[in-house]
A and B are shown apart, each in its own frame.
Chain A
């Protein structure tokens, strides 16, 4: 034992530093699995090409908040929002479940000065970063293809980060209640319709003026899609503010629930 050096007693960690360590851990894991990142990025790009450009050739321009825009310009911001959504979802559901139930990774972390709050913030930060990386890359594609019409689009990236945060937090919270892999069918059951019907490929007006439209407008992905669309097309309204508040509240609530659930599951 004489060969073991004595470590200086480290100063207490700040929450930010603690979250950074979880991100670092995930980063080390993905350094050798970066190809997984590629698929997450390609998915929305492929949708943009097939539907935005391909189907878009069959469609004339149509109106968004009273302005005529080409179909691809309409679809692209929706794909930007969904890339953040998908990126955040992947990490905060499957990966979190695996770490929580099989790897017992969080139990390992709780043997160190890290707390359940650190774990919640760190994992959500990672989901947020992953979603944001996809969105940033996608935004570059949009600019390159001339699908951005306003300087407001600069704010589309923080908007995508916000979407990633909100979904990361809420999905991780829901994952803490999952018992088996079968439960993930329920996630897919919600994910697909959200992706298809959140005014991603057609305007919300298509739902008419009834309850259905009201329901769609109240879903989180719709808020994200519309927010991104308003920013990339430059038609910012008071509704944009509503979306921002909606997503912030959703993320914060998710974070608080995750924290409480981890306490209940791990600190027994």
Chain B
């Protein structure tokens, strides 16, 4: 569906995307993960065929965005990071006119708009002004709008940023249903739980390059251990104690408030720690998550 070879994007001297290879297959949910400024949004804008490619090759649905922009966009659904709804129109008209932009006829647009209001669970708000909707409703409306043309590929840029947990779960459920229906999803996010929930495959981007690629499981296997033992000691003690447990895991990470010991057998680490006469205030053994992979690959310092 989407294939990129050595894809680049630069703004003047600044290179936002420094040559990436990506292959998105039909029907899968593909994720772009990365800290702010990693180049995710620039990549998404190029795929959405609104941002000219600076270098490399990009094909979407077999077409070149430089020459077939409108044809490609006709088969994409785009859900931007911010809810860019038409505030001068009511909720129903937002869907209706957006459908018309795709060249869909009046009757079909009206029918689709009604179905999508239902899908987004905002039917009773059809005549409401957009600005009167809650954040969650606006988000659902934006997603509903991106589906008006029955897209082959749905691009979602940070779909759940700013939503409360309930709204996020509703959205995940809807996206899952779309995926079941055969829509290819391309998602950017910096929420690891979201990526684990939704993505079949993902790439971790950092500073304009791809740092790792695979399924969430594969990434955890490749870049982290099966489990992590978290040890909390007194403030300021962590740095000094790190050496004493260093040999117990594959890797030890020192955080201001705790030590992370990466090992395939967390409980054994814990026992060994206690055997050595160390007495942490609190302990926790958990499975490695994508977040561990993410932080390992992109570092803990702030990106911007």
Contact = CB atoms under 8 A, between A and B. Distances in A.
A2 B104 contact: no
B25 interface: no
Contact of A114 (B70, B84, B116, B181): B70
A11 B103 contact: yes
Interface stretch (A105-113, A213-221, A241-249): A105-113
Given A10-B103, A17-B103, A268-B51, A108 B119 contact: no
A183 interface: no
A111 B79 CA distance: 9
Nearest to A263: B52
Interface residues of A, number: 34
Nearest to A33: B88
Interface in A81-120: 103-105, 107-115
A151 B84 CA distance: 50
> Most chain-B Cβ atoms within 10 A of its Cβ — which of A11, A104, A108?
A108
Interface string B158-192: 00000000000000000001101100000000000
A104 to B, nearest CB: 4
A21 B100 contact: yes
B97 A24 contact: yes
Nearest to A114: B101
B50 interface: yes
Contacts of B93: 28
A209 B69 CA distance: 55
A12 B70 contact: yes
Given A3-B115, A21-B97, A28-B89, A111 B150 contact: no
B86 interface: yes
Contact of B149 (A2, A7, A13): A7
Contacts of A260: none
Contact of A111 (B73, B97, B180): B73
B150 A6 contact: yes
Interface in B35-59: 45, 48, 50-52
A113 B116 contact: no
Contacts, number: 103
Interface residues on B, range: 35 or more
A108 B105 contact: no
A5 interface: yes
Contacts of A108: 84-86, 98
Contact of B74 (A2, A10, A267): A10
Nearest to B42: A268
Interface in A34-55: none
B80 A1 contact: no
Contacts of B52: 267
Contact of B84 (A11, A104, A266): A104
A5 B112 contact: yes
Interface in B78-135: 78, 80, 82, 84-89, 93, 97-98, 100-105, 108, 111-112, 115-116, 118-119
Interface of A: 1-13, 17, 21, 24-25, 28-29, 103-105, 107-115, 266-268
Interface of B: 11, 45, 48, 50-52, 69-71, 73-74, 76, 78, 80, 82, 84-89, 93, 97-98, 100-105, 108, 111-112, 115-116, 118-119, 146-150, 177-178, 180-181
